[in-house]
Amino acid sequence: MSSIEITERELKVIDEVSKDVNLTQRQISRRVGISLGMVNIILKKLAKKGYIKARQLNGKKIQYILTPKGFAEKARRSYRYLLRTISSIRQIKEEVQQIILKEYEKGQKSFIILGDGELADIVEMSLKDLRKEDLRYRRAAREEDIRDVHSTVLVAELNPDHRLRGKYIDILANITRSI
């Protein structure tokens, strides 16, 4: 790692400074979860590297301001994080589609998505994007909402209740094996 690159802790400090220029080192310390002494060291490093400027307001009060270089680094890191997130979602969607296609090839055409969070949204998107005209699905927020014993239940919850009757597939358990 070159001396110009910044660490994750430095990036967290930059993020806090970008949110509020009036934060004290003690407040930054609490928000980032690192010692006050470490915050002091990081702020000095960031100022030396040109990511922030420290401005003395009075004898005790210092204001930390993000420089254009600091904003650019934050934006660059945010962009890379966004790309990694999109890539992860795409991979999860492909894996969910493979799970569904295995069932579809066995003759299963009816599915119920159990859950109401982001994973359930990804499962629904996966089903839509398969573009199978004879494939049917619906969502159920709770197990009690499931009455259809002929559908395969795609469980899209963090802590599924394994007392489900009928055919069910725990999506999270199946995709985390390969991630």
**pLDDT tens for each residue of 57-105:** 887 888 999 999 999 999 998 899 999 999 999 999 999 999 999 999 9
Confidence at residue 166, expressed as pLDDT on a 0 to 100 scale: 66
Q: Is this structure's pTM higher than 0.85? A: no
Quote the pLDDT of residue 165.
Answer: 60
Contact (Cβ atoms closer than 8 angstroms) between residue 65 and residue 17: yes
Top-confidence residue, 63 or 3:
63
pLDDT score at 174: 85
Closest CA to 11 of 80, 70, 79, 82: 70
Rounded Cα distance between 175 and 179, Å, is 6
Q: Determine what percent of the chain is predicted with pLDDT higher than 70.
A: 91
